[in-house]
Amino acid sequence: MTLTTEIRVKDIMTPGARCIGENDSLARAARLMNDLDIGPLPICGDDGKLKGMLTDRDIVVKAIANGKSAETTTAGMLAEGRPVLVDAEDDVREVLALMRQHQIRRIPVIDDRVLVGIVAEADIARSLAPRDTGETIEQITL
């Protein structure tokens, strides 16, 4: 890793991330994705904690293609495993390492257990040196 200065996650994240509730329908999630012009949405539980990530691809492939109703299937039904996330105060190297390790393109950012943003490949490309960006993207897409 060639990062020489300490950069915090909060310095590169896209702020103001929106959640879809774990009990909200996939139809509601799809409308929100359309309104916000985004593909991924964090899934938040009634307790305010992240339960996972929902993508437009998840809705199509895991639900619609398998005959599930977008009106009655909830976002929480598609949440799998433990969500990968980072704290806003973490060093950006933590994000890069997690993206590489889990081969994921975006990571929710929390501050005091509340969703405050998302770090995506585009945030890395805009904020970090080309070498760091290239190394991370190459390892994510292996």
Q: Where are the domains of the chain?
A: 9-140
- CATH class of the domain comprising 9-140: alpha beta
In sequence order, the 6+-apart residues with CB closer than 8 A to the CB of 35 are none
What is the SS3 string spanning 50-75? EEEEEEHHHHHHHHHHHCCCCCCCEH
Residue 3 has pLDDT above 60, yes or no: no
pTM above 0.75, yes or no: yes
| 104-136: pLDDT as tens digits | 889 999 998 889 999 998 888 888 776 665 666
Residue 4 has pLDDT above 50, yes or no: no
Residue with tokens 């993206």: 99
pLDDT for the residue numbered 80: 80
| 45-61: pLDDT as tens digits | 888 788 899 999 999 99
Phi/psi of residue 111, nearest 5 degrees: -140, 120
